[in-house]
A and B are shown apart, each in its own frame.
Chain A
Amino acid sequence: MKLGRRKFLRAGSAALVGLSLKTDRPIAGSFVNDSFQMGHLLRDRASFPPAKHIEKFPIVIVGGGIAGLSAAWRLRKRGFTDFVLLEMNPQAGGNARWGENEITAYPWAAHYVPVPGPKAEFVRELFEDLGVLKNGQWEERDLCFAPQERLFLYGRWQDGLEPAVGLTQKDRDQFQHLEGLFAKFRASGEFTIPLELGRSSKSQDLDRLSFSDWLQQQGCDSRLVNWYMNYACRDDYGAFAKDTSAWAGAHYFSSREVEEKGPLTWPEGNGWITRRLLERVGENVRTNEMVHRIAETKRGVSIFAGDTEFQSEFVIFAAPTFLAPYLVEAFPRLNDFVYSPWLTANLTLERLPDSRGAEPTWDTVFLDSPTLGYVDATHQSLRTHIDRTVWTFYWALADGIPAQNRQLLLDKDWNYWKEAILHDLERVHSDIRQCVSRIDVMRMGHAMIRPTVGSVFSKERRRLTRRDTRLLFANSDLSSISIFEEAQYHGVLAAQTALDRLHGHR
């Protein structure tokens, strides 16, 4: 008897495919919130319509992310309302945008703010305004509910993200050694949030080498230690430790008090803050307004968006700074601004998948995955019974050159990313394909600033924080790290400067 191998393989694979197809759910979805088309118009110096209308505002804010909205918040809090905020996207919020479906609201990018320390005065002030901080107490409902984080490793779950299972004595020693070093950095007072308040040239040497080189100098060769350090860099900077300044790596671990309250978070992540800010400043915000030229004139600055010329005395440039050379006339080329490309996805789940017995947490990470895991939007719900949910899936394309990864984001279709995401989740949730009904994918070519070696103390950066020009920069990328607190800090400062100088003029 002979059974041809080919015939056998065909029969066998048909059986397997049949099995997997039978129970899968059809998955809908698409790319959403794409903005590269507009970016490419600027990059390619497309021609824009000439101005037909003129509007006058003493202050114009360009960009409606957290920096721009915070600037607007400060202006209105000081009683100043004669300004306009121009946002190119249909929805304000930038990296703090959110979405909503019939199940829950969910974040599109940034999804938490750590409980701010005493130096982050503006953040504390904002949270007092929003009722999150009352008489020195943090509102319980805004703190991340327990259980917060879990890491999947060696076929099981552990609480928290720092590997704590299966550690050798060497791993343990190295984690401890690093914790000691970070504690010293913390005590030095040089690693603060906002970063500008602590940074001093004493630790400038750290900015001259990569975080991975620094780790090596410290004798950290443990696989788990390196995984965790790289995870931290990918999570906050979208980069590997080898592409991150050691100063920034140290800042990640040394800038916050070790405390157990957990971060502040909401179902829609930082979109909640965007919403609250929009409630306060929304009437000054114009969306779908793409600024295509900024030119200094004799009396001030003109901003061109669509067919309108906005004549102003001060411009708060809160959009990502890399856009400045494309918008501002005669603006020099920038060298120290590298951005990490990202992909986020929101998955609608019709039921909760098998989690190998674990109760759901807010944040879930898999050891050795190229992705960053996912956050559960209904975790912060007050309901006791949850059968459907939305997961926000995060993926910093850290591996390789940013420009090439941006091209990859453009080249691959939705189906490719859908499969990649499911493939990643399937390693732990074997029945994920039977649970997911929709996957919407957001591609961000310049998602966050990357603190490359030398960029934290970069002179170019320092020049852009000057306060004596009509063009006041405010994006978080001025700090070389892309976090809420930095964005808010620069936005508020720029607003204060603009107001002070405006009143000085008059």
Chain B
Amino acid sequence: MGILLFISVLLVAACGLIYELVAGTLASYLVGDSVFQFSTIIGTYLFAMGIGSALSRYLNRGLVYRFVWIELLLGVIGGFSSALLMMAFAFTQGFELILYALVIVMGVLVGLEIPLLMRIVRDRYEFRDVIAHVLTFDYLGALGASLLFPILLVPRLGLVRSAMLFGLVNAGVALWTTYLFSTQLSGARTLRVACVVVICGLGIGMADARRITATAEDNIYADDIIFARDTRYQHLVLTRFKDDLRLFLNSHLQFSSRDEYRYHEALIHPGLAAVPVPHRVLVLGGGDGLAVREILKYPQIESITLVDLDPEMTKLFSTHPMLTKLNDKSFLSPRVHIINADAFPWVDSNTDNFDFIVIDFPDPTNYSLGKLYTTAFYRAASRHLSAQGLMVVQSTSPMFARDSFWCIAQTLKQAGLQTYPYHVYVPSFGEWGFVLAGTHEYIPPISLPSGLRFINVEGLPGLFQFPPDMAPLPMPPNQLNSQVLVRTYENDWKDISH
């Protein structure tokens, strides 16, 4: 019996530490500032344990009975703590309040455990053995938990299920205790029923944890999530609020269906309508098919080649009814050829010529994407331009990332191209910029396809005017060996978010 008893000390200690780690980790994930979170949570937790220990002296009778109840309570509260905190963050304003309240309650309960256990077993052993054994297993349990948590639990189970697993352990210890000390216990049957109820509750929770996480995530994005998937390349989330569809890639907004026409008309028409006789068009990026939708408005175009990295993205925009409605089934047109490949190597190895090239990549938020905004890349892309050809580059916001925008323009210039920067206003993005580039002078078109909602011939010259707060800045070109753009971009947006 001795060893069994001390193993329960070990388990109980592990549970206590896990709840503390779960609280600290979740707070760091959700609020940030991990040093602050862990320090204050550990401090509060230890302090609450002290309160628990102090309170233990007021418990005098039915120690085993009370111990079992404490375990059950802890199993429920600790087990659901992670889910509760996620919900609190997603649905309430008072995350911190709930966090610390929870930490204090759990700390008090954990603080009660060891003093009670010591008193329960004190008649069986000498005092010095009780102290030595209980504390030894207490610390061992803590070590085990602290190793298990980062190595196995978080990567394998996630925070919600890890907490529930240890809630189950608490409830298991409770049930076990009712058998271990059945002689010292009255009303054991009721207790066992309670244990079974708690165990079932936590078991169901574990099975259903995914939905809890999803529900919470739903609310972290403002709107309903209608589609979410981790593809090999990115985290893809599609949300809907009434008639507004929004696509997020790795949490960055790609478009809002309410105003995306502004972005895509501005991306395509100023350039494409200026190409005398466009037959062949290349789109790099643009896996949502919205740029292609605009290009298909030119009947003389014979072929559109779209190169996008992620097959799941192009497949989604070829099949999902809401999305094909948005892009007018552009990917199903026989004139469109979709190639799922990494853009830079594809541009290097392909030898075709195009009359219009659309470069529509995500903003240069890291060094990998930064490669697609370099002189080397633009030189390679411009080799595919036909004599009268033009290319257009999505160039982030000249307002919020002014340095970055002019850095991209300078990079195109350095690549030997004449550049024609312009900008438009897209409500969900703000001021947005593009750069047209080619080997000859650009003359704005005098006619446009019919049915456009935003771009018109009269307004075109105005797009190329930059007011003083977006005016050109002298910037170095972005090259593979310097990647100045990534750092510039990071600084630009840092300035805004403060």
Contacts and interface: CB of A to CB of B under 8 A. Distances in A.
Contact of A384 (B2, B133, B343, B483): B343
Interface string B460-498: 000000000000000000011111000000000000000
B374 A384 contact: no
A262 B480 CA distance: 11
Contact of B480 (A15, A143, A359): A143
A141 B368 contact: no
Nearest to A263: B481
B348 interface: yes
B276 to A, nearest CB: 32
Given A1-B3, A140-B374, A384 B368 contact: yes
B342 interface: yes
Interface stretch (A144-152, A339-347, A413-421): A144-152
B375 A140 contact: yes
A384 B479 CA distance: 15
Contacts of B36: none
B152 A147 contact: no
B345 interface: yes
A262 B345 CA distance: 23
Interface string A52-77: 00000000000000000000000000
Classify the secondary structure of A's interface with B. loop
Contacts of A384: 309, 342-344, 368-369, 371-372
A383 interface: yes
Nearest to A144: B481
B367 A146 contact: yes
A258 interface: no
B151 interface: yes
B6 interface: yes
Interface range on chain B (Cβ under 8 Å from partner): 20 to 34
A495 B395 CA distance: 53
Contacts of B129: 1
A145 B344 CA distance: 14
Nearest to A143: B481
17 contacts: A1-B3, A1-B133, A3-B6, A19-B151, A140-B375, A140-B479, A140-B481, A143-B479, A143-B481, A145-B481, A146-B480, A146-B483, A147-B483, A261-B481, A262-B481, A384-B309, A384-B343
A459 to B, nearest CB: 43
Contacts of A382: 342, 344-345, 348, 371, 376
B375 A19 contact: no
Nearest to A145: B480
A385 B368 contact: yes
Interface of B: 2-3, 6, 125, 129, 133, 144, 147, 151-152, 232-233, 309, 342-345, 348, 366-369, 371-372, 374-376, 479-483
Interface of A: 1, 3, 15, 19, 140-141, 143-148, 260-262, 359, 382-387
Contacts of B368: 384-386
Contacts of A148: 481
A140 B380 CA distance: 12
Given A140-B481, A262-B481, A359-B367, A1 B344 contact: no
Given A145-B371, A384-B369, 13 more contacts: A1-B2, A1-B133, A19-B152, A143-B481, A144-B481, A145-B481, A261-B481, A382-B348, A384-B342, A384-B372, A385-B232, A385-B309, A386-B368
Contacts of A15: 144
Nearest first, the 3 closest Cβ-Cβ pairs linking A and B are A1-B2, A146-B483, A143-B481
A20 B2 CA distance: 30
B342 A147 contact: no
Contacts of B152: 19
A385 B340 CA distance: 12
B353 to A, nearest CB: 21
B309 A359 contact: no
A140 B372 CA distance: 13
A437 to B, nearest CB: 18
Contacts of A1: 2-3, 6, 125, 129, 133
A359 B366 contact: yes
B481 A385 contact: no
Contacts of A261: 481
A386 B343 CA distance: 13
Nearest to B2: A1
A456 B400 CA distance: 58
B232 A146 contact: no
A147 B370 CA distance: 11
A69 B2 CA distance: 77
Nearest to B234: A385
Contacts of B2: 1
Contacts of A147: 367, 483
A141 B480 contact: yes
B56 to A, nearest CB: 23
A384 B372 CA distance: 8
A5 to B, nearest CB: 11
A15 to B, nearest CB: 8
Contacts of A143: 479-481
Contacts of B348: 382
A147 B3 CA distance: 56
Contacts of B483: 145-147
B481 A383 contact: no
Contacts of B6: 1, 3
